[in-house]
């Protein structure tokens, strides 16, 4: 059984796919067997690719330990309280490359954060996520898969987006998601990725349980590595177990059950190229409409823009992301008077991460995150930032 680090595994797959003209790891075996002469891979890459393609399970993983400071752990609009923390993460990946058209993948991630001087009700956070997937790959142009995911979260969450009042509190939630997806390569450098998903969410100490169905597709055009264009559309149907409908004035209607219907669209451009290092860039814009099918009290439109840039050179890598969102509520208003203005909210989130490899297995990293939630209703307005630094080991 071969053992490759998770980041190295992804690197080998991407590099080999680029050299061999393969569109994913799924058909590397067929492509690799035909390579000869000036198409051969570099010796180091070929040896790791041989390990990747060897029958049997490939197991990899990593562990990270970091310390940092968060300046508004309760997401407060009026009394921000900051605390230092220690954060530990473990990630494992198991892959069995395709044999006889079947491939298997399993993944587990655990992230546990503890504050050095806890506040009442906020000792820290933890997130657990696991996924198993079976893929059917009859040939190099078609792939279909079934995945099952499970998660558990214990963290401070802002639920105000879909609530009648401001709700920010430590929340424990668990859930399971089952999805069927496929990818088909089409003529003229197009690919199509339809998918359907069923999601069950269970809140342990809050009446927010729901069941959601999601379906949609993504169409991508990619002729060169330096440019890929895609468009996606998804439909969501969410049914709450305990939450009621509301009147247009914001009063609960006993005996009813709240449902959301959402339409989501996205346009995205991405690029990868070399020049004073290796670069990746992506930019996307999207829109989501939420409708409650009743009085419209929870109806809103969300606009989103996102930019991500990555750079690596030698042992160094830098990644930066920025997201901006605008929520326009159609029925909810702010303040009092004859004609109060509609509720509006803006969310901004930025991330900067720097990593340096310290040899074959070790990595040092530093990360900063800044978020700003701005609203025309004062109690919904807050900001926060997090800074951390640590080391990681791959195995």
Write out the two tokens for 176.
């399971």
Under the phi-then-psi rule, with left for phi > 0, alpha for psi from -120 to 50, and beta for the rest, what region is 129? beta
* pTM, 2 dp: 0.82
**What torsion do the CA atoms of 66, 71, 74, 75 make, to the nearest 10 degrees?**
-120
Question: Which residues, in sequence order, are CB contacts of 297 under 8 Å at separation 6+?
Answer: 164, 245, 246, 247, 248, 250, 331, 332
**Of 176, 279, 183, which is closest to residue 227 (Cα–Cα)?**
279
**Spatial distance between the Cα atoms of 355 and 368, rounded to a whole number of angstroms:** 12
Beta strands, E only, 314-381: 316-333, 342-357, 362-375
Annotation: CATH topology of 60-394 = Porin (2.40.160)
Nearby residues of 135 by Cβ (< 8 Å), 6 or more positions away: 26, 98, 102, 103, 104, 105, 143, 144, 145
Domain locations along the chain: 1-54, 60-394
What pairs with residue 176 in β-bridges?
150, 200
Tell me whether residue 70 is exposed, middle or buried, using C-beta atoms within 10 angstroms of its C-beta: 0 to 12, 13 to 18, 19 or more.
Answer: buried
Rounded Cα distance between 181 and 380, Å, is 38
**pLDDT of the chain along its 395 residues, tens only?**
344 444 444 444 444 444 444 444 444 444 444 443 444 566 666 666 666 556 688 899 999 999 999 998 888 888 788 899 999 999 999 988 877 789 999 999 999 999 998 887 788 999 999 999 999 998 889 999 999 999 999 998 888 777 777 777 788 999 999 999 999 999 999 999 999 999 999 999 888 899 999 999 999 999 998 999 999 999 999 999 999 999 988 899 999 999 999 999 999 999 999 989 999 999 999 999 999 999 999 999 999 999 999 999 999 999 999 999 999 999 988 877 788 899 999 999 999 999 999 988 999 999 999 999 998 887 778 899 999 999 999 98
Helix (H, G, I), strand (E, B) or coil at 18: helix
């Amino acid at each position: 059984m071969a053992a490759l680090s998770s980041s190295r595994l992804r690197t080998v797959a991407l590099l080999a796919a680029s050299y061999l003209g393969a569109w994913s790891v799924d058909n590397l075996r067929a492509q690799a067997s035909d390579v000869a002469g000036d198409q051969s891979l570099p010796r180091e890459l070929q040896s790791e690719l041989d390990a990747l393609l060897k029958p049997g399970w490939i197991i990899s993983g990593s562990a990270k330990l970091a310390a940092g400071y968060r300046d508004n752990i309760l997401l407060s609009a009026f009394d921000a309280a900051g605390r230092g923390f220690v954060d530990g993460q473990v990630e494992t990946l198991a892959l069995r490359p395709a044999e006889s058209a079947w491939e298997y993948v399993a993944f587990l991630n655990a992230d546990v954060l503890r504050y050095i001087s806890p506040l009442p009700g906020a000792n820290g956070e933890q997130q657990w996520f696991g996924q198993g997937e079976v893929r059917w790959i009859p040939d190099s142009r078609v792939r279909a898969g079934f995945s099952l995911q499970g998660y558990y979260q214990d963290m401070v969450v802002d639920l105000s987006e879909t609530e009648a009042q401001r709700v920010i509190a430590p929340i424990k939630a668990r859930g399971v998601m089952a999805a069927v997806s496929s990818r088909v390569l089409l003529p003229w450098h197009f690919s199509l990725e339809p998918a359907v998903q069923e999601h069950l969410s269970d809140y342990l100490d809050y009446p927010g349980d729901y069941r959601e169905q999601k379906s949609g597709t993504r169409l991508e055009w990619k002729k060169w590595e330096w440019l890929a264009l895609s468009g996606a559309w998804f439909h969501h149907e969410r049914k709450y177990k305990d939450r009621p409908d509301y009147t247009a004035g914001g009063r609960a209607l006993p005996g009813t059950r709240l449902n959301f219907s959402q339409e989501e669209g996205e346009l995205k451009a991405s690029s990868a190229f070399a020049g004073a290092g290796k670069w990746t860039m992506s930019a996307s814009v999207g829109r989501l409409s939420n409708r409650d099918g009743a009085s419209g009290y929870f109806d809103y439109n969300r606009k989103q823009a996102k930019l991500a840039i990555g750079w690596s050179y030698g042992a160094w890598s830098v990644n930066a992301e920025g997201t901006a969102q605008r929520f326009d509520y159609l029925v909810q208003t702010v303040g009092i008077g004859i004609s109060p203005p509609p509720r509006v909210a803006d969310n901004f989130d930025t991330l900067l991460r720097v990593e340096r490899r310290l040899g074959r297995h070790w990595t040092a990293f530093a990360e900063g995150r800044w978020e700003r939630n701005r609203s025309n209703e004062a109690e919904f307005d807050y900001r926060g930032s997090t800074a951390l630094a640590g080391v990681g080991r791959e195995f």
